[in-house]
Amino acid sequence: MKRTNYAGLIDETYLDQTVTLQGWVQKRRDFGGLIFVDLRDREGLVQLAFSEELSLNALHVAEKMRAEYVVEIQGVVKERVAGQENNKLKSGKIEIQVTEAIILAEAQTPPFEIDNADNVSDEMRLKYRYLDLRRPEMQQNLLTRSKITAATHEFLDANGFIDIETPILAKSTPEGARDYLVPSRIYPGSFYALPQSPQLFKQLLMGAGFDRYYQVARAFRDEDLRGDRQPEFTQLDVEMSFMTQDEIMALVNDWVKAIMSKTVGYDLDVTTIPTLDYADSMRRFGTDKPDMRFDMELQDLSDLMADAEFGVFANAIKNGGQVKAIVVPSAADKYSRKDIDKLAQYIERFGAKGLAWLKVTDEGITGPIAKFLTAKADALLSTTGATSGDLILFAADQAEVVAATLDALRRMTAKELDLIDESKWAFAWVVNWPLFDYQAEEDRWISAHHPFTMPNEEDLPLLDTVEGAHQAHAQSYDLVLNGYELGSGSIRIHRMDVQEKMLAALGFTKEAAHNAFGFLLEGMSYGFPPMGGIALGLDRLAMLLAGRDNIREVIAFPKNSKATEPMTEAPLPVAQVQVVDELGLTAPVYAENSAPNMAEA
């Protein structure tokens, strides 16, 4: 029989129609001679009713049904008995009175219930991913992701972008994260690398004159994993020639508007998207990815506190640092000393050496450091605008520590106090980034974005010296949504001389630069156009639009925190013979505790 409808989409508009449905048994209730079954498909649930009057055969089939059996039924859409309606379901007012039923596949009892899997461990969910994915929430997550790519294809196709695939078996290049390597069988000792992005290829495609390129591109990084990282991830990658930063940002705005409309039905007014200078974003929010769904901006008290009696503040300024604060509104009552100690402990990871705080009461400021700041109290309250009932949290240290600390405290307290309007979609552009970033731990300068980022036009002369280059700013633009970096874009260097200076400022000798990027540098000598682009992180975008807090929720078969995939158990030891003989590599003797499991493929 051919399906006529999805179960979850049938409602009272189908009354008295005969329907054929296929799906999974979610639940069965047997009242002896009368059986109700909740039938589930990807669009939702519908109630099936079986009885002797409707069909004795079908009733007998229903008696055999168990959870997760796959069944096919035919029946008539009827109103439910009054009082039996379920308003949570689209199909809640009707039921299917079944006249024919077949069991297409039986099922053993699953390791967890599909409609009650909230407390199942992540590892179990991944091991039985095909069951986990049956949960309506997971179906919705992947559906949202699919709608994002569908909107992307539609928008970019309509705007003259050409979908071009770039290699997965690519070249290992320095800079960036660790590559995944693929040994070559034909050239033992040589390796392909899985690309960390299609960056160089897309620039070469602009050099080839394609004018507008896009790709839903897989990228790979062999890094240690965190909640929002995966060994492989997906970028919505675009590049275009002959366009300015502003033109590109305007096009991306329209693209994102199309995505928001198709996925969550939100009509994004792109004129409301703010553009912040990187420096302003750092100053106001302590981060380059500000969550602008709420205020609580960082307030600079350095001038006020330079001569404060409170030594921690005065010394921070004296040592070239800052004193800044956030005002947590109406939070004085809500944070006990113990709660604040927890915050203090949390911010140690950012280098903060303690957490100074004040509560504001009708009588003025209170708290352990209040007595050192009595002289500043009025100025403090008028500068920050803090009023009775507010909690003020301070950071006094070098600028980076202050920024990281107050960014974290701002997000954390806003979340704890439920100050964030979860219905908001707060996009922002952050522009005018530094070209380079100094890594104190390693005492070296790295690219703030990547080595192919074009400096601001007026900063080009700075690139004549390495020291000058490190002070330059870039034609780069990041798109932020609700405090997450959605995508990172820039105008690219298209001139060989500029690119060589850029690589020199990163510490490449001319020879090393040409060894690593010779094909690109040579390409630029044959007439490359001005170009720019952006890559949006699909995983993170899908996570945000699906309303989840981990990208694993929007990936069908993600890796766990050990970069393994519990269902297939990849990676696996491969027969030694293949490694040694075919690839010319010697793998360490397989040790039981070094591999995720014992099976040899």
Binding to its own copies (CB under 8 A) within 526-585 occurs at: 526-530, 555-557, 559, 562-565, 567-574, 578-579, 582-585
Place of tokens 């897989």: 218
Q: Which is nearer to its own copies, 417 or 579 (CB)?
A: 579
Where does this chain touch its own copies (CB under 8 A) — which range of 148-156, 324-332, 419-427, 444-452? 148-156
Total residues at interface with its own copies (CB under 8 A)? 133
Contact 361, 381 (CB under 8 A): no
Residue 385 three-state SS: coil
The verdict on whether residue 42 carries a ligand-binding annotation is no
According to the binding rule CB under 8 A, does residue 131 interact with its own copies? yes
Q: Which is nearer to its own copies, 56 or 181 (CB)?
A: 181
Q: How far apart are CA 199 and CA 419, in angstroms?
A: 39
Smallest distance, its own copies to C-beta of residue 406, A: 35
Residues 501-520 that bind its own copies (CB under 8 A): 515-516, 518-519
Which phi and psi (to 5°) does residue 264 adopt?
Answer: -115, 10
The verdict on whether residue 38 carries a ligand-binding annotation is no
Please identify which residue in 33, 167, 311, 385 interacts with its own copies, judged by CB under 8 A: 167
Retrieve residue 518's tokens: 């010779």
Q: Which is nearer to its own copies, 70 or 314 (CB)?
A: 70
Helical packing angle, 199-207 and 510-524, nearest 10°: 40
The verdict on whether residue 125 carries a ligand-binding annotation is no
Neighbours of 248 (CB within 10 A): 22
Where does this chain touch its own copies (CB under 8 A) — which range of 101-109, 276-284, 306-314, 383-391? 101-109
Q: How far apart are CA 124 and CA 112, in angstroms?
A: 9
The verdict on whether residue 449 carries a ligand-binding annotation is yes
Smallest distance, its own copies to C-beta of residue 109, A: 9
Q: Of all helices (H) and strands (E), which one includes residue 112?
A: none
Altogether, the residues listed in the chain come to a count of 601
Please identify which residue in 12, 122, 211, 339 interacts with its own copies, judged by CB under 8 A: 211
Smallest distance, its own copies to C-beta of residue 276, A: 25
Q: Which is nearer to its own copies, 98 or 391 (CB)?
A: 98
Q: Which amino acid, 368?
A: P
Residues 187-206 that bind its own copies (CB under 8 A): 187-194, 200-201, 204-205
According to the binding rule CB under 8 A, does residue 497 interact with its own copies? no
Contact 9, 51 (CB under 8 A): no
Smallest distance, its own copies to C-beta of residue 11, A: 18
According to the binding rule CB under 8 A, does residue 42 interact with its own copies? yes
Smallest distance, its own copies to C-beta of residue 537, A: 13
According to the binding rule CB under 8 A, does residue 450 interact with its own copies? no
User: Per DSSP, which regions of 362-483 are E strands?
Assistant: 364-366, 391-397, 427-431, 436-439, 444-447, 476-481
Radius of gyration of the chain (CA): 30
According to the binding rule CB under 8 A, does residue 247 interact with its own copies? yes
Contact 256, 479 (CB under 8 A): yes
The verdict on whether residue 230 carries a ligand-binding annotation is yes
Residues 312-371 that bind its own copies (CB under 8 A): none
Name which of 596, 567, 599 is nearest 125 in CA terms: 567
Contact 485, 291 (CB under 8 A): no
Binding-site positions read 175, 221-223, 230, 449, 485, 492, 537-540
